[in-house]
Structure 1
């Protein structure tokens, strides 16, 4: 058996396929979903959504959202998505380094929140390279 997964962002359908498994970046940590999983609704944070098809993991950087799991159907509604391109690893590492500096130098609450979000995105991008 397999899971049917749909990933939808505000600008449209990102992914619609069957999968062997899915790992969601939930607010409480990584959440693995296999066939036969109990019904669930969970919030997602910025992180790596991994989809396993043909014994290969594909990473997608999601910018928060929700997931609904029921009857081997996984519906993921996300706020946004970031692309992971194999050739951009060094660029991703430099963006991560800059994000760390920006967070360290942030003064206002807004600057701290913005810098924290950018750091999460940059960190997820660097980690995603393990899966491509």
Structure 2
């Protein structure tokens, strides 16, 4: 079954979007396979991803686009897309082994591949602190390089948030990837609440006693780090 939508500009057909129902989810069925050959791009929705609560449930392995070429999207974008697809394909191949034997029976390289693939599937949004305020990073975010301030990093995995305290650094965003290099980082779940509160009180006292410009700057930085650790704990409480 095909449902179609045509878009017209100035009385001329410019594009069309068609919804194709695939019998038994079999993409090799002659009917959908023949139809796909005439399309510029296909977006395949996966029941398996939907069952995991991942939306939009787009399967990047079965989805295609004639636009995904180095001369159109650039070498870096193309190579990144191919590497992501290779990681997801290897993860798909390992799923039967994982179901029968478990992760412990995999090689170190395959365990790393599984971890990467699960992050690719699950990460939906990242929020980090910069010198100019917080920024949210969603899929297809514009390329940017920015300094990361002392503050909280939030990562949305499905409907849950992973929170970390970052102690300043740099972040690079591009091609649906984000690289964060920081001086230090702690997961909220790894921070001892009592120790963090004591450190905050010590930092506040040190700032009150600070003398001279250098001591004041160092005390302010220590206080900012201490407050960030406490805020990271409160973010998950």
- Scaled by the length of structure 1, what TM-score is found? 0.80
Task: Give SS of 1:20's match.
Answer: strand
Q: Hey, what's the Cα distance between the residues in 2 that align with 1:44 and 1:127?
A: 17
* Residue 64 in structure 1 maps to residue 168 in structure 2: yes
Question: Aligned residue for 2:209?
Answer: 105
Assess if the C-alpha contact under 8 Å between 1:86 and 1:129 holds in 2. Answer: no
Q: Which of structures 1 and 2 has the bigger CA Rg?
A: 2
Query: Which residue in the other structure is 1:47 paired with?
Result: 151
Contact 2:191 2:233 in 1 (8 A): no
Q: Extract unaligned runs of 5+ from structure 1.
A: 5-14
Which TM-score applies when normalising by structure 2?
0.46
Once the two structures are overlaid, the 10-residue window that deviates more, 26-35 or 93-102, is: 93-102
> How has the CA–CA distance of structure 1 residues 87 and 28 changed in structure 2, closer, same or farther, with 3 Å as cutoff?
closer
Residues 77-132 of structure 1: per-residue CA shift (max 9 Å, x gap): 11222353467223212211221111111002221122111111110011111333
Task: Give the structure with the larger strand fraction.
Answer: 1
Tell me which protein shows more helix as a share of its residues.
2
| 8 Å contact kept, 2:163–2:187 | no
- State the alpha-carbon separation in 2 of the partners of residues 88 and 43 from structure 1: 27
| RMSD between superposed Cα atoms in Å | 2.3
Task: State how many pairs are aligned.
Answer: 121
Larger RCO of the pair (alpha carbons < 8 Å, separation 6+) = 1
